[in-house]
Amino acid sequence: MNKKQIIGIVIFVVLILVVVGIKALSNVGIGFNSNLTTVYVATGGGKEDFIADPEVNEILKKKYKIEVVYDSWSNGKTVVQPLIRESVGLGNQTIIDRLSNGDTTITINSEGVSKYDALFTSDQRFYDYYKLFPNKSLGESDRYQVLEGGLTLNTPIVIYSWKEVADNLIEQGIVTKDDKGVYYITDMNKLINLILEGKKWSDIGLNDLYGNINIASTDPVSSSPGATYYGLLLSILGNGQIQEEGLNDNLAKLLSFYQKSGYMNNTPADLFERYLKTGMGGEPMIVDYEKSLIDFANSNPNGFEQVKDDIVVLYPKPTIWNSHCFAAFSENGKELYKALQDEKIQQIAWSKYGFRTGITGGNYDVSDFGIAIPQKITSTVTSLKMDYYNQLINYLKNKGQVIQ
């Protein structure tokens, strides 16, 4: 073997070692994911797949040097329990033991607790309420100061139905279809009254459907989506505004509406699955989020292909946003809030999981989806304040009795 051959072999071996070394460094994060800042977030439900998305987390790590730890919280507990990791069984074991033994003196300011950098709630009313001072008479815990935050992920309340039902509702003057094929419920009051009057599907010409006209929803007493929907109904009955005058009459109508609704699922996922599996005969109309269909289309393209020609998405006019809001408590939380507004992350939120961003739902290309959905959502009512939601839910729960 001559000298040139030996040099060539040495160079080749060195190149291989360099390539292997770079790959190894990449795998362990050196030069890519080193010096990551860990951000701890108390997180409401409804966005589990999005926050676990590998592409989203890769962007956070590589571009923003952030690694996020999301702990699951129910919305209601964020204002009652101390918002620390120990409240959900994580962090300092000594604190966990004290909490489990009934120690009520522990707060977010207690020594040794594991604090959060942010709250990512799944309902705007809890975000707005968290920014208020805690009501100690209701047993509410101390709160962090919200340094920055706002609406981050949005999806409107819609009603899923079927073409035969939608076409019939057009004939009834309840639904209209625009020039882009999008269906809108333009007379929601008329639809509500048909339900309150106990009208049957056959009364409006749908003779193949059995029973009374109904819009299936999750239970507003125990489900955040159901409460949001009933909040929308209360706003519609009040012509877009919630006022003390006429409030009791509208609550009484909603109680009757609630009692006529029959069996209710506790989660939107269960209800949407029933809708798809039982078809028009089983669930002629259901209430859910717009994102559910987009998420389904991406996770089960074959299943979506089978039903897309029959499904109709009805957009109430007005509708209401289900808004996932981010509240930053620390500088690290603020950095994550900014990162979540990254253009690529927001595009993933829409294209894979159906979350809109921005005031009117962003500027996304909806033409290739296969089912008519609006480019923007412009006709909406604002979310009810916590006091009105509590009054509504308590009224339904207690069957109209005022509980002191």
Q: Domains plus CATH for the chain?
A: 156-322+369-397 (3.40.190.10)
The Cα–Cα gap between 80 and 42 comes to: 14
Which of 154, 185, 118 lies closest to 337, judged by CA?
118
The Cα–Cα gap between 39 and 332 comes to: 6
The predicted structure's pLDDT at residue 402: 53
User: What is the percentage of the chain residues whose pLDDT exceeds 90?
Assistant: 73
Which of 64, 66, 58, 105 lies closest to 84, judged by CA?
105
Q: Are 120 and 46 in contact (CB under 8 A)?
A: no
Lowest mean pLDDT among 78-92, 101-115, 274-288, 371-385: 371-385
The predicted structure's pLDDT at residue 378: 86
Average pLDDT, stretch 56-61? Answer: 97
Q: Is the pLDDT of residue 111 over 50?
A: yes
Tokens 């979310």 -> residue: 383
Mean pLDDT for the chain overall:
88
- 89-95 own/partner pairs: CB under 8 Å, 24+ apart: 90/114
Q: Is the pLDDT of residue 375 over 90?
A: no
The Cα–Cα gap between 101 and 95 comes to: 10
Pair of tokens at residue 401 = 């009795």
Total Cβ atoms within 10 A of residue 125: 23
Pairing type for strands 183-185 and 311-316 reads: parallel
With b meaning 16 or more CB within 10 Å and e meaning fewer, what string describes 174-188? Answer: bbeeeeeebbbbbbb
The Cα–Cα gap between 25 and 238 comes to: 62
DSSP state of 362: -
**Three-class DSSP category at 101:** coil
Q: Is the pLDDT of residue 384 over 80?
A: yes
Q: Is the pLDDT of residue 25 over 50?
A: no
pLDDT interval class at 288 (50, 70, 90): very high
pLDDT interval class at 296 (50, 70, 90): very high
pLDDT interval class at 244 (50, 70, 90): confident
The torsion region of residue 182 among left (phi > 0), alpha (psi -120 to 50) and beta comes to: beta
Pair of tokens at residue 121 = 């709630």
Which of 199, 296, 338 lies closest to 257, judged by CA?
199
Q: Is the pLDDT of residue 365 over 60?
A: yes
The Cα–Cα gap between 377 and 197 comes to: 31
> Phi/psi at 154 (nearest 5 deg)?
-130, 150
Pair of tokens at residue 355 = 């979350």
User: What is the percentage of the chain residues whose pLDDT exceeds 70?
Assistant: 89
Pairing type for strands 311-316 and 148-162 reads: antiparallel
DSSP 271-335: HHHHHHHHHHHH-S-EEEEHHHHHHHHHH-HHHHHHHTTTEEEEEESSEEEEEEEEEE-SHHHHH
The Cα–Cα gap between 6 and 362 comes to: 61
C-alpha separations of 8 from 14, 16, 22, 347 in Å: 10, 12, 21, 48
Q: Are 165 and 206 in contact (CB under 8 A)?
A: yes
Q: Is the pLDDT of residue 383 over 90?
A: no
Lowest mean pLDDT among 9-18, 149-158, 184-193, 317-326: 9-18
Total Cβ atoms within 10 A of residue 191: 22
Tokens 């809708």 -> residue: 275
Total Cβ atoms within 10 A of residue 192: 17
Helix/strand number for the chain, H first, E second: 15, 10
Residue 16 CA from chain centroid, whole number:
48
Lowest mean pLDDT among 129-143, 241-255, 302-316: 241-255
pLDDT, tens digit, for every residue of 312-361?
A: 999 999 999 999 999 999 999 999 999 999 999 998 999 899 999 865 45
